[in-house]
Amino acid sequence: MKTDLAKSIAYCGLICGLCFQGSGCQGCKSTNSRCDVDLSDEGCFQKNCCLKKGFDGCWQCAELSACERGIYSLGNFSKIKAFAICIGEDGKDAFIANISRNEERGLSVEKGKDYDGKSIQAVLKMIRNPDYPVL
């Protein structure tokens, strides 16, 4: 399961394997993406940028911390940007291990749930701290 989750990480850092779309979509790196942003007329800024630069994801980009385009338009309150930063700093395996541990403890990455509305630094603490309080 954790290997599948690591493979499902989108260019932006979103974990497609935990998306509400479920098994009907394997994410933006697959041929059956159902992501509204990816399927929009403009397409996904993060995906297009990564493809142009030959990156597996935004976590490989030196400009990530300053990027506020596309799905990172929430600036310092972008949980998905925090995910990409975490992957860049800790690696995919550690990121997925921490997210999976938090999911088992009841913290959800779903839209509108536990990681939303928090600063990037707060999200990074949530991901990395096995004792982060679950409310």
pLDDT tens column, 34-86: 777 766 778 789 999 999 999 999 999 999 999 999 999 988 999 999 999 99
Burial bucket for residue 99 (CB in 10 Å: 0-12, 13-18, 19+):
buried
CA–CA distance, 32 with 117 (Å, rounded to integer): 29
How many other CB atoms sit within 10 Å of the CB of residue 112?
8
Question: What is the three-class DSSP state of 132?
Answer: coil
pLDDT value at position 40? 73
pTM: 0.90
pLDDT tens digits, 80-127:
999 999 999 999 999 999 999 999 999 998 888 999 999 999 999 999
Best CA proximity match to 32, nearest among 21, 24, 40: 24
pLDDT tier, 20 (very low <50, low <70, confident <90, very high otherwise): confident
